[in-house]
Chains A and B, each alone.
Chain A
Amino acid sequence: LAKTTQPISMDSYEGQEVNITCSHNNIATNDYITWYQQFPSQGPRFIIQGYKTKVTNEVASLFIPADRKSSTLSLPRVSLSDTAVYYCLVGGAGYGGSQGNLIFGKGTKLSVKP
């Protein structure tokens, strides 16, 4: 399983762009990179997924360099409601587990201040 490393925490202010980088040096050829968001007292929620280059949806962008050993989740113009824990996961069709399970790392706790 490809191990991921993220900053434990980050602080930001409303309206700023936030970039959270995840390192995954041992990523395999068939691995995808997926980010989840978790608010207190809720289950994680899918944000975005990518394999290479750049992916953008209505919530975030995901930048993946050519060597795929890292990825950056970009949240444009954050608000207070973006305060949450963000998890980077790496894996193949099964997200790294032999039976399709998700293996979570420690995540990054993002605090957005007014």
Chain B
Amino acid sequence: SAVISQKPSRDICQRGTSLTIQCQVDSQVTMMFWYRQQPGQSLTLIATANQGSEATYESGFVIDKFPISRPNLTFSTLTVSNMSPEDSSIYLCSVKRLGGANTEAFFGQGTRLTVV
């Protein structure tokens, strides 16, 4: 298994500001992902955090709005930039180890963001 620590667990931010969310894993993992989940809805993948290189973003998400870092195999950050109320959501970090045909993914508890 993998234990994921996300910080902060929640925050209330003013529009126009930025928030950086941290994801720390207790062991080295191959893959790290960032998801967004709006209230009552499913998870939407934002991007894959790549170690030592630029993240791979899904359609509808761009680096200027959601810059991501992954300096090593156990840590990543997601920044929500120039926030608006529409960015209010839960942001989740997820990790996987590659091995065998398939491996399960582990998720953090999420960061509940409210933009006012």
Residues of A within 8 A of B31 (CB): 99-101
The stretch among B13-21, B78-86, B93-101 that forms the contact with chain A is B93-101
Residues of A within 8 A of B63 (CB): none
Which A residues have a C-beta under 8 Å from some C-beta of B?
Answer: 32, 34, 36, 41-46, 49, 51, 87, 92-93, 95, 97, 99-107
Which B residues have a C-beta under 8 Å from some C-beta of A?
Answer: 4, 30-31, 33, 35, 41-45, 48, 56, 92, 94, 96, 98, 101-102, 104-110, 112
CA distance A6 to B68 in the complex (A): 32
Which A residue sits closest to B48, measured CB to CB?
A99
Which B residue sits closest to A85, measured CB to CB?
B42
User: Could you count the A-B residue pairs with CB atoms below 8 Å apart for me: how many are there?
Assistant: 65
Contact A43 B104 (CB under 8 A): no
User: Separation in Å of the B16 CB from the closest CB of chain A?
Assistant: 27
Contact B109 A43 (CB under 8 A): yes
CA distance A100 to B56 in the complex (A): 12
**B30, B41, B102, B107: residue with the most chain A Cβ atoms closer than 10 Å:** B102
| Sample of 22 A–B contacts (CB below 8 Å) | A32-B101, A34-B104, A41-B109, A42-B110, A43-B94, A43-B106, A43-B108, A43-B109, A45-B107, A46-B104, A97-B45, A99-B31, A100-B31, A100-B98, A101-B45, A101-B48, A102-B43, A102-B45, A102-B94, A104-B42, A104-B44, A104-B45
Residues of A within 8 A of B112 (CB): 41
CA distance A105 to B42 in the complex (A): 7
Residues of B within 8 A of A105 (CB): 42
Which residue of B48, B96, B107 is within 8 Å of A44 (Cβ)? B107
User: Separation in Å of the B29 CB from the closest CB of chain A?
Assistant: 11
Residues of B within 8 A of A45 (CB): 107
Residues of A within 8 A of B44 (CB): 104
Which B residue sits closest to A99, measured CB to CB?
B48
Contact B45 A103 (CB under 8 A): yes
User: Separation in Å of the B74 CB from the closest CB of chain A?
Assistant: 17
Contact B105 A46 (CB under 8 A): yes
In the complex with contacts A100-B98, A101-B33, A44-B43 CB distance below 8 A: yes
